[in-house]
């Protein structure tokens, strides 16, 4: 056997992950339903909440009360619902298995998905920010950096939870669960509407949701410029539990 035959023929890990990230991003962006979920519905929510008085009392101006929740909704659309459904069907069609036989491997696959989630999320945040600024949004500048941190933490948490569902149940069930969860979390999970608006008896349960932690943390940051340490701890715990369960329970085929 010639000496060149025994060397690695794989490009470097960062290069593999970058390639896969680009591939996964294009897959997400070329899917019509995912675009509706990622861009169209959040923008409708932004207009709806800005031009009604549904969020009265949350902030002096309704646009300022609406934007943080819409950004939280973007995280759930992309990291949880969109990514979960995509991964569920990849698993069904053996795509995960196929990629895990290439130099990309399982770790590369996951990192590729994380890059795609972050890229699509960045596009969403830029779009929402532009539309919101045109509508007269005035965020609290002290809260920008904490908000970015919360968006990243939220993306990690919901990616782990999305992978957990996609890796354990049938793709049809993943589709149903993650879409239903999106609707419920958006409506009553503390994403668009602060938990203080919920009935008192429901609040302790809702407090335990990662969606509430994310929504409330973004509102605290972008409305009051306040950094919510409790929300950070909460999101980190959810991310850790979700990742641990996903690693333990994920079935590749």
106 touches other proteins by CB under 8 A? yes
Q: In angstroms, rounded to a whole number, what is the distance separating the alpha carbons of residues 216 and 47?
A: 20
Q: Which of 204, 180, 224, 222 is nearest to 76 (CA)?
A: 180
Give the binding range for other proteins (CB under 8 A) out of 12-20, 46-54, 117-125, 219-227: 12-20
Using a CB cutoff of 8 Å and minimum separation of 24, what contacts does 101-106 make?
103/9, 103/10, 103/11, 103/16, 104/16, 104/20, 106/252
141 touches other proteins by CB under 8 A? no
Q: Which of 160, 166, 136 is nearest to 238 (CA)?
A: 160
Residue 193: CB minimum distance to other proteins, A:
35
Residue with smaller CB distance to other proteins, 139 or 167: 167
104 touches other proteins by CB under 8 A? yes
**Planar angle of CA 119, 35, 121, nearest 5 degrees:** 25
**Contact status, residue 213 vs residue 67, Cβ threshold 8 Å:** no
Residue 101: CB minimum distance to other proteins, A:
4
Residue 23: CB minimum distance to other proteins, A:
5
Residue with smaller CB distance to other proteins, 26 or 126: 26
29 touches other proteins by CB under 8 A? no
216 touches other proteins by CB under 8 A? no
Residue 89: CB minimum distance to other proteins, A:
8
Q: Which of 151, 21, 165, 193 is nearest to 81 (CA)?
A: 165
93 touches other proteins by CB under 8 A? yes
Q: In angstroms, rounded to a whole number, what is the distance separating the alpha carbons of residues 166 and 160?
A: 10
Residue 21: CB minimum distance to other proteins, A:
11
Q: How many residues of this chain interact with other proteins, rule: CB under 8 A?
A: 33
**Contact status, residue 92 vs residue 171, Cβ threshold 8 Å:** yes
Q: Which of 29, 35, 54, 95 binds other proteins (CB under 8 A)?
A: 95
Q: Which residues bind other proteins (CB under 8 A)?
A: 1, 5-6, 8-11, 13, 16, 19, 23, 27, 30-31, 89-90, 93-108, 252
């Amino acid at each position: 056997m010639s000496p060149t035959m025994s060397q690695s023929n794989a490009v470097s890990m960062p290069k593999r992950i970058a390639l896969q990230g680009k591939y996964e991003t294009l897959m997400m962006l070329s899917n019509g339903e995912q675009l509706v979920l990622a861009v169209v519905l959040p923008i409708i929510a932004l207009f709806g909440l800005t031009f009604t008085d549904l969020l009265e009392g949350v902030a002096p101006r309704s646009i300022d009360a609406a934007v943080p929740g819409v950004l939280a909704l973007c995280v759930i659309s992309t990291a949880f619902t969109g990514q979960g459904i995509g991964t569920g069907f990849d698993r069904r069609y053996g795509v995960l298995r196929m990629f895990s036989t290439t130099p990309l491997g399982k770790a590369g696959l996951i990192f590729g998905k994380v890059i795609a989630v972050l890229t699509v999320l960045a596009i969403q945040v830029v779009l929402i920010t532009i539309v919101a600024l045109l509508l007269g949004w005035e965020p609290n500048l002290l809260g920008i950096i904490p908000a970015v941190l919360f968006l990243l933490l939220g993306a990690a948490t919901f990616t782990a939870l999305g992978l957990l569902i996609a890796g354990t149940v049938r793709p049809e069930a993943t589709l149903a669960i993650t879409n239903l969860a999106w609707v419920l979390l958006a409506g009553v999970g503390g994403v668009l509407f602060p938990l203080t608006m919920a009935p008192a008896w429901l609040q302790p349960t809702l407090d335990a949701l990662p969606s509430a932690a994310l929504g409330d943390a973004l509102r605290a940051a972008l409305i009051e410029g306040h950094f919510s340490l409790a929300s950070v701890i909460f999101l980190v715990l959810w991310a850790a539990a979700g990742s641990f369960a996903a690693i333990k329970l994920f079935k590749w085929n």
